[in-house]
Amino acid sequence: MYFKEIELKNFRNYEYCREFFSPEINIFIGENGQGKTSLVEALYIMCLGRSFRTQKDKDMIKFGETSAVIRSVVYKNERNIRTEIVINENEKKRIKINGIPKKKSDLSNNILIVVFSPEDLKIVKEDPEKRRRYINREISQLYPSYYEALVRYTKILNQRNTLIKTGNVNRIHLKVWDDELIKYGSRIIFLRERFIERLSIISANIHSEITEGKEELKIEYDGDISFNENINEIINEFEKKLNFSFSKDMARGITSHGPHRDDIKITINDVDVRKYGSQGQQRTAALSLKLAEIKLIEEEIGENPVLILDDVLSELDMSRQNYLIQSLKGVQVFLTSTSISDEIADKFEEKIIFEIKEGKVINKV
């Protein structure tokens, strides 16, 4: 599956733009602030119905305008899928697939996307919150039921916290919330663990290849409710923990157990990379994770996702760049950069280079 075409109207700094893509590699070149990331952001929205850099859809409407339109054509299973998203200032965005109104969750049936940006290079070293957000994003894309559970869990967690902060609640009363929290929370834990286990195996192989067998990468689920193959066991343990911490939670006004406290533990040769890894090791681990994600999606749905490399190539050393490039066969790639050397450009065969300036494609080779 791949993007054939995109059309933008009043999107970010683009007044109008329509471009056709190579099924292999598309390179967006331009100085800072010209519209490279905006273009890949538009592709991302067509896959997931939301941006990777803003929570507010309105931010994407061109300054001074009241609506933005994005249209795309994706080629999949030997046919074209036409998607349209209209973002309005004062109402919910509207999505149509092949002319028929659809929900946001219908988009991910079409095309999956993996973004790799300098932000992602930091996944390994930043706070647990960042890693949670990362795995939430990736698992949601593969399993819409995960996203649903996550939305519900977060809502119930907030309600529960508000309630216990009032101090005016007893165990029996709280049980209604706890039952829901446990129901969705255990689903989250279950799917997270399964995802991380698979990601760990694939990324370990990739990491070993990149480092020529010198480094053994391991990723583990690091949660305060231990994982069990049997979801009922997770439910039981979660319930026990909530009961046990009832008085403490009441005193502190927070919920001290649950998947909102989870982390992922990443080690190289059994040493915690977050604490002790060099910057290069942290980046390589992040690269291995990203490439593993592509593989996992391919295994899961039988097709490669589209890959966005936003400003990330220049952050890697030559041998990492080479590894990345040679592992991209069969994946449609959108790469942004302020410049690209002939040496790197020559490594890609079926490529189109788009030169971007002030929200326009001014040259295409």
Ligand X SMILES: Nc1ncnc2c1ncn2[C@@H]1O[C@H](COP(=O)(O)OP(=O)(O)OP(=O)(O)O)[C@@H](O)[C@H]1O
* Interacting residues with Mg ion (CB under 5 A): 36-37
Q: Which two tokens stand for residue 126?
A: 């930043």
Measured between alpha carbons, how far is 17 from 14 in angstroms, rounded to an integer? 7
User: Is the Cβ of residue 57 or residue 178 nearer to ligand X in the bound state?
Assistant: 57
Contacts of residue 256, defined as CB under 8 A and 6 or more positions apart, other chains included, come to 245, 248, 249
User: Is the Cβ of residue 87 or residue 285 nearer to ligand X in the bound state?
Assistant: 87
Closest contact distance (angstroms) between CB of 320 and Mg ion is: 20
259 binds, among Mg ion, ligand X, none (CB under 5 to 8 A by kind): none
Residue pointed to by tokens 């966005």: 308
User: Is the Cβ of residue 13 or residue 88 nearer to ligand X in the bound state?
Assistant: 13
Contacts of residue 232, defined as CB under 8 A and 6 or more positions apart, other chains included, come to none
Virtual torsion, Cα 204, 205, 209, 210, nearest 10 deg: -40
User: Is the Cβ of residue 65 or residue 197 nearer to ligand X in the bound state?
Assistant: 65
Closest contact distance (angstroms) between CB of 62 and ligand X is: 4
13 binds, among ligand X, Mg ion, none (CB under 5 to 8 A by kind): ligand X
Q: For residue 144, how many C-alpha atoms fall within 13 Å in the half-sphere facing its CB?
A: 12
User: Is the Cβ of residue 250 or residue 353 nearer to Mg ion in the bound state?
Assistant: 353
Closest contact distance (angstroms) between CB of 59 and ligand X is: 6
26 binds, among ligand X, Mg ion, none (CB under 5 to 8 A by kind): none
Virtual torsion, Cα 327, 44, 147, 88, nearest 10 deg: 180
282 binds, among Mg ion, ligand X, none (CB under 5 to 8 A by kind): none
232 binds, among ligand X, Mg ion, none (CB under 5 to 8 A by kind): none
- Write out the DSSP string of 282-333: HHHHHHHHHHHHHHHHHHHHSSPPEEEEES-GGGS-HHHHHHHHHTTTTS-E
Closest contact distance (angstroms) between CB of 359 and ligand X is: 7
Closest residue to Mg ion, based on beta-carbon distance: 37
User: Is the Cβ of residue 37 or residue 282 nearer to ligand X in the bound state?
Assistant: 37
Closest contact distance (angstroms) between CB of 199 and ligand X is: 28
Residue 4 and residue 21 in contact, taking contact as beta carbons nearer than 8 Å:
yes
Q: Which two tokens stand for residue 211?
A: 């480092």
- Write out the DSSP string of 233-279: HHHHHHHHHHHHTHHHHHHHTS--SSGGG-EEEEEETTEEHHHH--H
79 binds, among Mg ion, ligand X, none (CB under 5 to 8 A by kind): none
User: Is the Cβ of residue 61 or residue 242 nearer to ligand X in the bound state?
Assistant: 61
35 binds, among ligand X, Mg ion, none (CB under 5 to 8 A by kind): ligand X
Residue 224 and residue 241 in contact, taking contact as beta carbons nearer than 8 Å:
yes
Closest contact distance (angstroms) between CB of 32 and Mg ion is: 7
Residue 7 and residue 72 in contact, taking contact as beta carbons nearer than 8 Å:
yes
User: Is the Cβ of residue 61 or residue 294 nearer to ligand X in the bound state?
Assistant: 61
- What b-and-e string marks burial along 207-220, b requiring 16 or more CB atoms within 10 Å of the CB? beebbeeebebbbe
Closest contact distance (angstroms) between CB of 296 and ligand X is: 28
Helix (H, G, I), strand (E, B) or coil at 62: coil
38 binds, among Mg ion, ligand X, none (CB under 5 to 8 A by kind): ligand X
Contact set with ligand X (CB under 6 A)? 12-13, 30, 32-38, 59-63, 311, 338
Closest contact distance (angstroms) between CB of 34 and Mg ion is: 9
Residue 188 and residue 261 in contact, taking contact as beta carbons nearer than 8 Å:
no
